[in-house]
Structure formats: C-alpha cells, structure tokens
Structure 1
C-alpha cells in the first residue's frame, strides 16, 4: 500500500503506567464513508483515490500501518466534579504523524474496540456519534477555533447496542496530542515525582518548547495552559458553542477542543442553555463554561503542586496566586473578542457595559445570538421584535457612537465584524436532519452540503439561506447524547 505515513511514537517513551500497548479489534467489513483529503494533505499523508478501499482496512483497525505501535492512554478525570480513574476505553493511538515541517499530530482511532480501560464498555462507537464529531469538529476548525480534526469515518459493518441497535463506526481523529488535564491527575495519583516531572518535560518539549529551561517548568506550564484555555473558551463563547461535558478528562493541555459528545450550538441567546441529556443540573451550561474552566484548571494546579515547590505550603500559595489571575486573563481575551464582534477599535471603560447591555437585551427578547451579530455586521435588519425594541434602539445609538470613535467609519467597523461574526453555524435541527438521513437512509447529501456551508462560515451564499435560521419551533426539548 503506497501510503505515506511517517509515524513516531514519542508518547510510549513516557512511564509505562501512562499507557497500555493495545491493537484495535478488527471489525466485520470496514467501509470508508468519509475521508478528509484536505486534512490528509496538511499532515503530509499522501493517499490516492484508488487506495481508499485499502485505507478503510487501516482506518477501520483491521490492518496496522507499517511501523505503528498502537496504544491506549491512561488518564483520570473529574466527571461532573467527581474524581474517576479513566483511560482510552474505546480509542487507540496508532502513532504520531511527523509532517515535513516537523510537527507532530496524534492519529487516533475512536471506536476501535475494548482496551484495558473500557470499564465494562464495548469499546465501540455509533455511526451517528462519529458523524456528529466529524461534522462539528470540522465546523469548529473553519470557524477559526482550535480543535481536534476528523480525517475519516469508517463504517464497521457491525451493530452497536445503545438505547437501541445502531450501526457501528470508527472515527480517525487528528490532534496536537490527546494529553489532558486528567493525564496529569492520573500522574499525580500513580507516578513517582520523577515520573511526574518526565510528563511535564515531555509536554513542554512537544507543545510549549519556549518554556524549556524554565526555572519552574510546572508553574510555567500551568500559566501557559491557563492562557490557552482562556483563548479557547472565549472563542467558544464568541460563536455560541456549548461543549456539554467539560470534565477534566476532556480538557486538552494543548488548548484544543476535544471529545465532541453532546455538544451543540446555542440559537436563542440564554446563558443558561443546556442541551446535554446527562447535564441535568446545568453544570456545563453555556454561561458556566468560563468558571468551569477555572475549576478544571485548579485540578491541574493540584496535580502539579509537588513539582511547583517541595514545600507544600509554598506550592499551594504559588499555585493559588497563579489561578487567581485566570478570571482577569479570560475576561481580557473575551472582551477583546466581543469588541471585534462589535467592530470596536481600542479600549474604552464603557466597552464591557456595552457588551453586557446587548446580551441582556438579547436574552430578554429571546434573540438569535448568531443572527443578531450578523445583522449588526451587514446593517440589514429584518422585521424583528428585537430591532424595534426601545432598549435596543438606545443601545444601537450608543454602539454607533462607540464604533465610529477615533475617526473610524461604520463601514470599517463592519469589515472587522465580518471576520468575527459567522453567518453560519451548525444549526441543531440541520445537524439532526443530516445525521438522520445519513444513518437511516444512507443519504449523505445534506451532510456534505453542511460540510460545504461550514467551510466558509463567514461568507454569505444565497444558496445556503436554509442554514441561517434555527428551527421554527425553536430548541424546546432538544437534547444531545454522549454516544458511549
């Protein structure tokens, strides 16, 4: 098979408690359903069309690439606040693809069968949930948000039992790495201090080489991950994305969005929005995402305490002082993104109030988050209760005054806004329609059209107007599910 893999296996150089060598479990009749040629090219994986059938054997887990050393990673996690020992229960890392530019990317098969960490699970994944991850992760990438990506979906030819019988599938996921906050929590519990330091040195070398040689590597790593998470979550808030299950095992040390389970996008602006069926208390509601990130980072800080200082009291004091900076770091990044959404130049004391006033009005009027900002960007206001509201009219005049400050024209402000306000997001009802047609009728036409729409989410296309609006009945009763 003339496929250009350049697989490395640096993760297996870490202490062996952090992983178990494990091959994927072969499936009955793997068939390639989706393949991301553009992503393959970007990681220098060359595949010709006449090899796609052979590729289904590899990405289905039946045939291993040459020189692969498949393994499942061990990690822990706080799931809805409760500490649990976990690990890759249905995923196998087949290696790290080294690109021509010397960048490493994990190549992981998700849904590839049982591992030592499956905890009674079947190790498999449904076609529907793998298609969802493919669609949403690619949408996030094209929205400009740091994310794992999807290289392929292979139908397994087998069924998977969840609430009912489903078609099975394997997703090939590409990420900077799959190292999580939960990886450090696991190391803190089960590895010696020297082994914990090995993990920190490895992560710094792989993801943050600028920190090499630091006087206090663990502390500097904590600061860097805080910054990356602040950037990521503020970007989620910018587009109305709700992850749905922000457990510490789903928090990437590299600052990518990973583990797309019950995720969805908010239509009507409401910070209390929850779609995940397992988040019954709203812990991971849209508006809670920043403070949950702060909490998750505190778990990372605890795991790093022995490395931060030999004196426990000093370590706690230093870590707490560092963590206390997160709200300000996040607010600064978030406020700048919201300034961009409103086309504001520079910083003014009233900017925060201007943003909050608009969001409060939108919440009160049950306005669509994406379309409100899109209307402000285009200057085209449909007949809408929001735009006719007196509070909005007053806000609008204040915004015009602020946006045209410092000699900026409104047109210039709107050019900035156009770069930060998507016209299209994966609307929940369209996602469900695409998944239903694909899995129930083997009709991928809507799915492929959605992928096409989401490749240019900031550019209006008159052929895609159906993707601009939420369902007529709204999101009442809409739920998303984990897939495990």
Structure 2
C-alpha cells in the first residue's frame, strides 16, 4: 500500500523546521503495530512495511521528513530554541474521510535540535507511550496515539546499555504553545500570525470568519485544554512534564514521558525523577494549565489589538476566566464519576468533601465501589470520614447510580506495577505481558482482577524517567 501524504506544514510554514532524514535502523524488528488505529486511518500496512517505514530503514513514498522548531518553558525556565531533537515528522496523513494527522517518528536519530542528546530512544519508554495513549483513547480522552513500535537492533546508553526502539506517533498536529513561543521570542510577528492562521485552519476552521479570530482561537484553546486537564484529574493521571512545549494547541495529550496514574489519593503525588519541587504534582496540574495558557496569550498580544495596553487587558480578561472554566469542567467530570444524574447546587460541595475523606484510598477503585460499602471499606485505613460522607452521596445519587458508576469509572487502568512488569519483560524480549496488559486496558470497564488491584506493598515509591 501507499500512504496519502500532504505535507502542508513543510509547504506553508517555511522557517519553522529543518529537513533532515531519520537514521536507518540497522536491524529493525516490529514489536507492536496498532492495527485498530491503522484501520481508522485507512492504512492496510503489512508487518514489513511497518517495520521498515517506522524505523527509518526506508521512507514511505511521499514522506518529507522534517524536524520541527519550537521553544518552551521547561520547569518554569525559558529555552528560546528546543525543537525535535530526536523526532522526524514524516508528513501528514490524509484519511479516506478527509481527516489530517501528523505521522512522526520518535527516537529516530539526532537532528540539529538535539542539544547534545543521542537522538535515540529505548524500548521501555516507547512501549509506555503506546500503552498509556491507547488507554487514554479507550477512555475518550483526546490524545496522540502510538501507531507502532519498532526495535532498531541498536544498543543505547542510558544508565546502562538498553535495546533501542522507534515509536511511530500519530497526532492531530504537533503544534505546541512552544511553537508560538519560538517565533514570538524572535520578534517575528509575521510568523506568529502565519502560525495562528495555520492552526485555525487546521484545528478550528469554524473560527476563520470570526470578527476577532485570534481571540476566538485563544478562547478555543483554553476551552479544550480546560476540558483535557479535568479529564486527567478524573483519571488520577499525572503527566509529569507540563512544560509549554508539551501543551498541544489541538487539545490532545502529548509526550508521555515520566507519566503515571495515582493509586492512593494524595494531591501532592509526583512520579517524575526530575520534578524535585513538585511543580507538576497532581494537584498543581490545573494551576499549570493557567500558567501555560498565559504564555500562549503573551505570544498572541499583537494579534489581539494594535494597542498593547488594550491587548493586555483583553488577554487578562480571558485568562481570568480559566479557573472558573476549569472548575466547571472538573465538576462535570466529578458528577459523572459520582454517578450523579443532572445538576444540583450542592454537587460541588459533595465532590470537594469527598477528597479529604478518601485520602490515601485507591483513587480508581473508590469511585468504582461507591455503591458497595463492603468492598469499599478495605481500601481505607480509617473509614470514619467516608462513612459519614456516603449517606449524603446516596441521597443525591438516587436510582440508577450503580449503572452510572460502572459506565463512568474504569475497572482497569495502566497500574504502575503492571506497566513496569510489561516493560521489563519486553526489554528482555518477552512481549506477552505487554500484549496482555494492552488487551486489558483497551477494555477499561471490563473487570479483570489480575489488572485491577493496587500495587503490592513491596512495590515501593514509584519513580518515572523522561527516557531521553
């Protein structure tokens, strides 16, 4: 087969990328091919095509590999030039029904943006992105997707030698807040405008005729991001690196590095080895949402109004609305998780009062078992506060709550110990645990005891790494 490429980024946004080919993997071996995703994209790939095209061993016809430029605030510090240091955008896939997606290789070799890195990736982190993004998709959370993971046959140095791999990633686009920052930091307002026009045409075409299209664009990005972070919070998902170069304009979750799912509820939970100050802790994610969007607004100021003072007023007005917008999205998520039908004035208080009552209890299973006190009680060291809260919930939830809880709350998530078991086995050449876990998380509402239970006590404090 062939892939229908249309490389609008390379065609329409000169100065935003460098043309550079991916490295050719010396001995590629296909580890995982996401056939359901391939079918959705209209791709009938053979294993040999996936192995070669998604490892750099060969380029699919029509591909025009580039490394995209962007900047970004990383843990609060600004880097005016980052870019794809180990990724190559092969081009944009046009699906038979007219949708457009980026097809990118990650871990496919050094580019001029590499900043001293080796440009490579290893099997574990690439399969992690595959697992977590497929779970997000199964839960209806907007996300980039893994199309394939290919072992390269190379050894890559991290703390020790590890087998190398390349991830083929599909995204609505890879336009980030940091992409806007790249041009704004250089004072190139024409490029900022061109990028905004491109982003509107690609992701928000309904805004093209708006009276103030760039303000409408900012509003639309705020709305999508507020909804996305609320969904993360509902799942207990901790991204780990919410830098501005990891916030996609499309509203998708992007860059699954040191991410993980909280088990026992603790708002200060951090998994990333490099987040020593807890900047991106679970409870801080809504705050970082606003901080990152403020950085986007800064890049758009000249497009909001010719008068700088007036532009700042307009932007600040929109930024002031992020917190209430997020809160409304979070409350919608919590109503769903609590099995509540309709809306009641006391719902926010009910949801807020639950959180201190469930301190330390398993986040996922608590919601799943709200209707079953006998199954719920063992999740708590001290059940007294929860026991006092439950009658309020029962009075509000009413009839049908059991069915609503089962439909809203997953039985299976990618629990950290199961993810690590699967990745460790895959690194040693055994893909069976990965495939079994993948099958379970693709059916998140189907109870499977082997994948439902929290980590055993000996699992210890979980730490994740960027994989770079």
Q: Distance in 2 between matches of 1:472 and 1:58?
A: 40
How far does residue 348 in structure 1 lie from its aligned partner after superposition? 2.1
Q: Could you tell me how far apart the structure 2 residues matched to 1:168 and 1:189 are?
A: 35
- Give me the whole-angstrom Cα distance separating, in 2, the residues matched to 1:382 and 1:208: 44
Deviation, 1:156, is 0.5
- Hey, what's the Cα distance between the residues in 2 that align with 1:389 and 1:132? 35
Determine if contact 1:31/1:53 at 8 Å carries over to the other structure. no
Contact 1:7 1:95 in 2 (8 A): yes
Spell out, residue by residue over 1:91-125, the C-alpha distance to the aligned partner (whole angstroms, 9 max, x if none): 00001100111100100000110111111111111
**For 1:368-447, what aligned pairs fall within 5 Å after superposition?**
368-376=362-370, 381-384=375-378, 386=380, 389-404=383-398, 409=399, 412-440=400-428, 442-447=429-434
Bigger mean CA deviation after superposition, 53-62 or 66-75: 53-62
| Partner of residue 134, structure 2 | 138
SS across alignment from 1:125: coil
Partners of 2:123 and 2:426 within 8 A in 1:
no
Residue 79 (structure 2) pairs with residue 91 (structure 1): no
Structural mapping, 1:51-450, within 5 Å? 51-84=46-79, 85-190=81-186, 192-363=188-359, 366-376=360-370, 381-384=375-378, 386=380, 389-404=383-398, 409=399, 412-440=400-428, 442-450=429-437
Does the Cα contact within 8 Å between 1:387 and 1:393 map onto a contact in 2? no
Paired with 1:453 and 1:343, the residues of 2 have a C-alpha distance of 23
DSSP 3-state at the match of 1:154 = strand
Contact 1:75 1:249 in 2 (8 A): yes
Using the TM superposition, give the Cα deviation of residue 475 of structure 1 relative to its aligned residue in structure 2, in angstroms: 5.9
Q: TM-score, normalised by structure 2?
A: 0.97
Say if 1:200 and 1:217, in contact at 8 Å, map to a contact too.
no
Distance 2:298 2:100 in 1: 28
Alignment correspondent of 2:453: 469
Residues 447 and 380 of structure 1, relative CA distance in 2, 3 Å threshold: farther
Deviation at 1:167, TM superposition (A): 0.7
Q: Tell me, yes or no, if structure 1 residue 451 matches structure 2 residue 438.
A: yes
Deviations 1:167-202 (A, max 9, x none): 100000001001100001112123632222111111
SS at match of 1:339: helix
Gaps of 5+ in 1: none
Instruction: Measure the CA separation in 2 of the matches of 1:125 and 1:109.
Output: 11
Contact 1:158 1:168 in 2 (8 A): yes
Between stretches 339-348 and 280-289, larger displacement belongs to 339-348
Name the CA distance, whole Å, in 2 between partners of 1:79 and 1:311: 30
Kindly indicate whether the alpha-carbon contact (under 8 Å) linking 2:370 and 2:376 is maintained by their aligned counterparts in 1.
Answer: no
Paired residues of 2:377 and 2:383 also in contact (CA < 8 A) = no
CA RMSD of aligned residues (A): 1.4
Distance 2:384 2:10 in 1: 62
